[in-house]
Amino acid sequence: EHDCFMSCFPKDQLMWMVQKLNTSLFTANKKPTTAGELLKWFGVLILITRFEYGDRASLWSPETDSRYIPPPMLGRTGMTRPRFDELFQYMEWSEQPEERPEGMSRGQYRWMKVDDFVSRFNNHRVTHFEPSHLICVDESISRWYGLGGTWINCGLPFYVAIDRKPEDGCEIQNSCCAKTGIMLRLKIVKSPAEEENK
């Protein structure tokens, strides 16, 4: 599973995240992390998506509200809840300067939080995966509702409401190898104006 994840996830992205995390953790007087711990964190994050819950802390609890479903008890993964939350708090995916560069729009600046990650993902696919002759081009919807409109200057911007989709969210246009189901390239739809232009 580790090898499968590493073949899909860009190694330069992983190492960049470890380095960035360690800088932030050191500043906050917290224990540094490693690539192995970060991979475990990803594993727990993916595992969390398999459960319905109200409070994330309950996923580590030995108690359950159901007589029929045992508690997830994510502490058995080897990652404590405080450590998971710590890494979650200081996690960064891309380089974004403290101050918005002059001449750059607020939207562009905010999307910098993921731009490097998307570029590294796309570059990784180009150099490490050879697709079949069957390519499917479509879009995916991430259930990201953002922090509001363009008037809020923090976090990732929010865009998209698509009438034909059952739920709103952030639209990601992608191409995929139809034989393996592996996504080859991602493009985030960042604004209505950009979508109109392209």
pLDDT in tens, 2-15: 444 556 789 999 99
As beta bridge partners, residue 138 has 174
Confidence of residue 107 (pLDDT cuts 50, 70, 90): confident
Name the amino acid, one letter, at 112.
M
In order, the DSSP letters of the chain are: -HHHHHHHS-HHHHHHHHHHHHHHHHHTT-----HHHHHHHHHHHHHHTTS--SSGGGGG-S--S-SSS----GGGGT--HHHHHHHHHH---S---SSPPTT--HHHHHHHHHHHHHHHHHHHHHHH----S-EEEEEEEE----S-STT--SSS------TTSSS--EEEEEEEETTT--EEEEEE---HHHHHH-
What is the reported pLDDT for 3?
47
Res 44 pLDDT > 70: yes
pLDDT in tens, 111-150: 898 899 999 999 998 988 889 999 999 877 776 666 655 5
Q: Whole-structure pTM over 0.95, yes or no?
A: no
- % of the chain beyond a pLDDT of 90: 43
What is the reported pLDDT for 25?
97
Token digits of residue 97: 């300067």
pLDDT in tens, 54-105: 888 889 998 887 788 888 899 999 999 999 999 999 999 999 998 889 998 8
